[in-house]
Structure 1
C-alpha cells in the first residue's frame, strides 16, 4: 500500500514538473513571438522582417526601411537595430517598393509582393556612397621610381558627399593625390558623379629590393573606403626607351605621361617637361608603352627589349587632338549684311569624355554664334569617346564690309583644335531702298510725296531704322506707310518689301528755281545699310490760281440752299490739277458743281478759266446768323494755290401745320365733348408762344390743355386737348367750332369741327306722355259725339 502511494506521489510530482515545463515553454513562445502573430491568417496582413549588412557583411544599424505604395505613399517604416534586424507588423497584402537608406551609403530599392502572413526579406547589402576603384592593385617598381596609379572616386549616393583623402605608405616613401597635375586633399562629389584621380607614389632609392610594400589610400567622410596597393621593388636588367612627343603641328608637348606595362602591370612611368623622354623598361619581355596627355588621343607602342643597356629610339611620337573639327565648306562668297550658316562637325577620337568650348576669331564688327541641330545657341558641348556631333557656325556680316577675310573656329579645353574659313564679301547686288521718281518739282510751300520701296535683300528677318538727313532749313520731311502712319523702324522678313511714302514740305520762303536734296537712310543696329537722295526743284510764282465771284455774301432762309458762282483762273504757265476743300460750319452740306455734276478736282490748263458753282445747304435747325464759308484750291501735293471766303446770312422761315383728332363730334345739351389738336413746326426755324385759337357759340366754355407751348423746334410737334362745354337749354342742332394754331411768328390754316347737340331723354318722355293724354281725350270726345 505504501509502495502504491509512493508511486502515486512520484507520478504526481512528474506530472507537476511536466505542467510547469509546458507553462514555461508557452510563456517563452509568447515572449519571443509578438502576440499579434496570432492574428495572422485571420486577416490579409503580413509580418515583414529582414537584415541589413554592409559589403563587409557587418550588420548596419539605424538604416531607414520604408514600404512605399504605387502612388508614392509610405505604408510603413522602421529602422534596423544594432544587429541590423528590422521588422514591420500588420502590413496589408499588396505590391510595394521597399527602400533602404542610411547616410554615407547608397540608397537601395526593391519591389516586393506581400501575400503571406510572414515575409522574410532576408539580407540586404548596402554599398558605401563613396567608392574607390582602380584597374591596378599590384605593381613592380625599381628603387627611385615614381609610380602613377589611376583611381576613380564615385558617389553612388543620393546626396553630395565631401571626401577627405588620406594615404599611408612605408617609411621614407612619399605619396600624394593628383587631379589634372594638381595635388588635392579634399573633393566634393555630387550624386552620381565620378572623378578620375592619380595616386603618385615615390619609391625611395634606398628601398629594399625583392620586397613587397603596401600603400593604402582612404577616403574619409560619412563612411570610409580604402584601396591597398602592393608595390614589388626589385632590380632587373633594363633597356632605355627615348623619344620626343609633338602635336600635329610639330610642336613639342609638355606634361605628357609615358607609362610602361608588362602583362598589364605598371612597370614605370615618367612625364615630359620639354617634349623629350627617357624611360627604363625591363628586358626579355614585351613592354607596352602608353603615351598620353589630357586633350589628346592616346598613342600605344609595343617594344621588346632584348639585352641590358639597349637603347630604343622612338623618334617623334605625334599626339593628335582628341577633338577634331571638320567642315565641307572652307571658302564661301557672301554679300554685305548677309547671315551665313557654315556647317561643321566635332569628333572625339580620344579615350575619355571631352568638353569642347567653342570660340571664334572674327574681324571687328562681325558677330557669330554656335548653333546645334535644333537651332539653339551653345558655347560648350560634351562628347563621349568615339562620338561626333554636327553644329552650325552662324556669321553676321556687317552691312559696310567688303573684301576677303578669315574666320577661325577653335575648341578650347585641354587641347585646342582649329578650323579656318575664308569668306569673300561682295557689295549688295539688290537695292535696299528704291524710288522710281526720285526727283520732282513744286512751288515754295508745296507738299511733295515720293513713293519709296524698302526691300530686305538678306536671307534673314531684319529690323530697319528709317531716318532722314540733309533736310533744308524750315523744311519738314516725314516717312509714312501707305495708310498715312508715320514710322521710324520696320521689320521685314527675308526678301520681303514694303511701300513707303516720303512727304517733303518745302518752306514757303524757299528760293525758287533751286534744287534741294534730302537723304533717306535705311540702317540696322548702328550700321547704315543704304541711302537714297531725293530732290525737289522749286518753280517760281507761275503756278498761281485766281478765284473770283460777283456775290460772295448772300442771304437765305433756313433750310434753303444757296449757289455761289465762282470763276477759277490758272494764271500760271503750267497746267494744274486742283483739289477743292470747302470749310463750312458743322452739319452744313457743301459741294462743288460743274453744271449739274458734283466734282472734287479740276484739271485746268495754263491761262484758262473755269466756271464752277459752290452749293451750300444749311441744316433746318440752323440758328439765325451770318456764317463764313472758306473754299481752298490745293495742288496734288497739298500746297495751297488759291482760296476765297464766302458769307451766308440765314433768316427765319416759319410754318405751322395743325391736325385735329376728329372733324365731327356730338354731345347733349349741358354736357361736354373733347378732341385733340396736334401742331407741327414745318418751318426751318423754331417758333415761340404756340397756342390754339377757337371760335365757339356765345355762352359756351372752352378748356385747352396746355394753354401754351413756349418753344417748338423745326419738325417737332406738340398736342393740345380741347374740352367744349355746352350750357343747359342749348337747342338741339349742329354747331360749327373754328380752330387755328398760332405762334409769335406764324399761324396755321383754320379748321372747323362740327358739334351735334341733342336734348335730354326725360323731356322726350314727358312729350310722349302729353301726346298720349291728348289722344285718349280725343278718342273719348269722338265716342261721345258719335252716340248723339
Structure 2
C-alpha cells in the first residue's frame, strides 16, 4: 500500500513539473472506461491515443494497478507491446488487458494507464468473487507419431512435494482442479521416457492449459501384469496364474521366463494356454501383448500358508518382475473302513465291529473324533476307545464296537449305523446284523416235535384198535 501511494505521488510530481506544451502533446481516451466482470475474468479496454504535437514520437506505456495480484499488459497487432509510435497529427489504438484474480472481493477497482505523460483511469467492477475455489489444469499427452497416449500418469508437484496423480483418458487428456499456486508436472508411462514440464501457475477460476506434451517410447521395454495376483488353492492342487506380457518398446524382443523365491521342493511351468506345453521363453513383436499361464506345483506334503514369489520376463535389453502370492489351505477329509459290513450272530450273542478312521486330508488336523451308534430299540453298544483327541494328516485310529441285541430279539436282519464325528466333519457307515435262532432252541424244537409224535403214536396204539 505504501508503494502504491508513493507511485501516485511520484507520478503526480513528474506530471506537474512538465511544461504545459509537453503535457498537452497527447490525447488519450477510451469509449468504455468502466466494465463489469467476475473475479478471475480477463477484461479488455480499447484505448486510442492522438499525437497533437508537431513531431513524431515514440511513447512508453505504463500502468498502475491497486490490486497486487492482477496482471496488466498491452496488446496491438496480436502482440504484447510496451512502446507506441505515433506520427505528428496521427493516432494509434491499442488494448489494455487486465487479468483479474479469482479471489478478488466484490467492489470497484481503478487501474491507471499512461502513454508518455498522459494518464487514463480505467475501472473494473467485480460483481462476483470466486474466493476459496480452485483453478483447472489441462493438457494432452501424445507419442512421437502424434497418437494420443492413454493411461499416462501426470504427477503434479509443488514446493512441498507431490500434490496429485491423474491418468490420461483415451484422448490422452487430463483436466484436474488445483488450489492456487505454482506447480510443475511429470509425465510417466510404462515403455516411455519420463517427461517433466516447465513450472506453471494455477489461478483461481482460470484454466491453465499446458497444451500438447510429447513423450517418446523406449527402444526396449517389457511389462508383466496379472489381474489376480493372489490365489487361494488347496494342498494337492496345481493352481494357475493368468498373466499378460507386453512388449512396449520400439523393437521386437525375446524374453526368458522364470519364477523365483519359491520353496526349493516346489515346481513351476510357463505355458501359452491353460492346457498347453511348457515353454521357457517367448518372442513378442513391438507393441504386442501375449497371454501366459504360470502353473505352480506344490508337493503333496506342503504346509498350509501364504507363499510369495516373483515371475520374471527377461531379455538382454529389458526386464519385468511381478510379485505373486499363493495361499495354500488344507483339505479336510475323513475315511472310515471296516473289514466286514455284514455280520451273523445267534440269539444271545453280540456282534463285534472293527472300524478304522483315517485322516485322509492334507495339511489338516481332526480333533475330538468319536463314534456314535444308531441301532434298533433295545440294543446297546460298547465302544473302545470312546474317543480320540486328535488325528494328524495320514494318522488313523481303530475303534472296537460291541453291539448287544436284547434277549427277546426276534430272528431277523437289522440295520445299525455308525457315525464318526469330529469337530471338523463327520462320516457314517451302515452295517447289517443278521440274528438267527440259537442251536439250543432248534434242539428244543426237535424234542418237542418228537414228543408230540411219540404221544400221538402211543394214543394210536392204545386206542386205535377199539
TM-score, normalized by length of structure 1?
Answer: 0.29
